[in-house]
Amino acid sequence: MNDQRPGFSVTTIAWAVIIFLQIPVIVVVLASFSETTYLTIPPQGLTLKWFEAVLTDTTYLTAIRNSLLLALGSTLISLVLGVAASYALFRKMLPGTEVLTSLLMSPLIVPSVVIGVALLQYFTLVGLRGGFLVLLIAHVVITVPYIVRSALASLSGIDLSVEEAARVLGANGLTTFRLITLPLIKPGLVAGALFAFVTSMENVPVTIFLAGPRQTTLPILIFTSVEMGVDPSVAAVSTMLIIATVAALFVAERWTGFHRFV
C-alpha cells in the first residue's frame, strides 16, 4: 500500500521552497568571488581580492578573534555548568524539577533584544559594562539552554542500571559519572555544544548592547557595516564563516555521529 506518495504539484512546490532556502547562501558565496562590487548573474569575473582584504584588515581579524574566544569560552562554561545542573535535575536530586527545568530553559522564551537591554541596564548600574567578562556571562545565559536540553535528552537515553552497576562494582559518584555516564552522553552533548557555539557566534541582539568598541564581534561588524552599503568583503567573510560552519559540522559528525541527536 505504498502509493500514498506526494503528488507532482506538492513535490514541485516543496523543491522550489527548498531551493529558495539555499539561495541567499549561494548568492553570498558568489558575491565574495565577484570582481564587481555588485553581484550579477552570471558574475562578471572571479577574484580572491575580497578575501585578501578581509584577511589583512585588523578590524575583521579582531572581530573574528573576539567571536571565537567568546563562543569557545561560553560554550565550555555552559557545558560545565549545564551538564552538572542537568544531572542534578535528571536524577531528581532537588525538589521542583519542572520549575527548575523551566527556569534553565527560560532564556529561550524571552526575546533576545529584551535580554540585551536588560543586561545593558543591569551591568551599567553595577558598573561593569564594556568588559569581556560581561559578554561571556551574557553568552553563557543564552547558550546554556541548548546544553541543558541536549544533556537531559541524552541522559534519558541511557539505562539507569549501568550507573547502578558501576556503583555496586565499587565506583563512587564522580568516578561513575566520569567513566560511564559521560562517555555515553557525549554524542548528544556534542550536538548541544554545536548549537551553543553557533548561537554564540551569530548573536547580535544581546551582544550589540554590551560590546564595547574593543569587543566587537564578527556578526556585529557585519551588521553595522551593512548600514553603509554592500561591501563584498562582507561577502568574503561571510563565505569564510559558511566554510568554517560546514567544516565544523563534518568534523563533529565524524567524531561522534551526532546527527541522530539533532
Partner 1 sequence: MTSVRSGLLLFGPLLLVLTGAFVVPLLLLAPTSFQEYQPGSGIVSGSFTLGNYARIVADDYYREVVLRTLGLGVSVTIACLMLGYPVAYLIVRGHPRWRLPLTLLVIFPLMLNLVVRSFGWIVLLTNRGVVNNLLTDLGVIETPLKLMFNLTGVMIGLTHIYLPFMVLMLVAALQNVPRDVEAAASTLGSGRFHVFHAVTLPLTAPGIIAGSILVFVLTISALVTPRMLGGPTYQVMATLIYDEYMQLLDWPSGSALSFSLAFVTILIIWISSLTTKRWAGLA
Partner 2 sequence: MSNLTLENVVKRYGDMSIVKGVSLNIGDGEFVSLLGPSDCGKTTILRMVAGLNEPSEGTIRIGSTDVTRLAPNKRNIGLVFQSYALFPHLTVFENVAFGLRRKGETGTALETRVNEALTMVRLSGYGERYPRQLSGGQQQRVAMARAIAPRPNVLLFDEPLSNLDAKLRDEMQIELKRLQRSLGITTLFVTHDQAEALSLSDRVCVMHDGIIQQFAAPEDIYRRPATAFVASFIGKPNRLKATVQNGRLVLGQGLGLVSEHPPGAEGENVDLFIRQEAISLSSSDDHRANRIPGIVALRSFSGPQVQYVIRIADGHEFIVQAASSGSGSDLAQGQHVTLEVLPQDVLVLPGAAQP
Question: Which of positions 182-241 make contact with partner 1 (CB under 8 A)?
Answer: 198, 201-202, 204-205, 208-209, 218-219, 222-223, 226-227, 230, 234-235, 238, 241
The count of residues interacting with partner 1 (CB under 8 A) is: 83
144 to 163: interface string for partner 1, x by CB under 8 A: x-------------------
Question: Which of positions 104-123 make contact with partner 1 (CB under 8 A)?
Answer: 104, 106-107, 109-115, 117-123
Q: Which long-range contacts (CB under 8 A, 24 or more apart) does 136-140 make?
A: 136/70, 136/73, 136/74, 136/77, 138/206, 138/207, 138/210, 139/70, 139/71, 139/73, 139/74, 139/200, 139/203, 139/206, 139/207, 140/74, 140/77, 140/78, 140/81
- Under a CB-based contact definition with an 8 Å cutoff, are residues 134 and 156 in contact? no
Figure out which of the listed residues 2, 4, 58, 161 binds partner 2, where binding follows CB under 8 A.
Answer: 161
Figure out which of the listed residues 8, 20, 46, 254 binds partner 1, where binding follows CB under 8 A.
Answer: 20
127 binds, among partner 1, partner 2, none (CB under 5 to 8 A by kind): none
Min CB(48)–partner 1 separation in Å = 18
To the nearest 10°, report the CA torsion of 242, 247, 250, 256: -110
Min CB(26)–partner 1 separation in Å = 8
Query: In the numeric block, which cell numbers belong to residue 152?
Result: 537531559
Query: In the numeric block, which cell numbers belong to residue 93?
Result: 536530586
Question: Which of positions 167-206 make contact with partner 2 (CB under 8 A)?
Answer: 167-172, 175, 180, 183-184
Figure out which of the listed residues 72, 182, 247, 262 binds partner 1, where binding follows CB under 8 A.
Answer: 262
In degrees and rounded to multiples of 5, residue 91 shows phi and psi of: -85, 15
Rg (C-alpha) for the chain, rounded Å, is: 22
Figure out which of the listed residues 26, 165, 226, 247 binds partner 2, where binding follows CB under 8 A.
Answer: 165
**Contact call for residue 251 and partner 1 (CB under 8 A):** no
Contact residues: partner 2, CB under 8 A: 159, 161-162, 164-172, 175, 180, 183-184
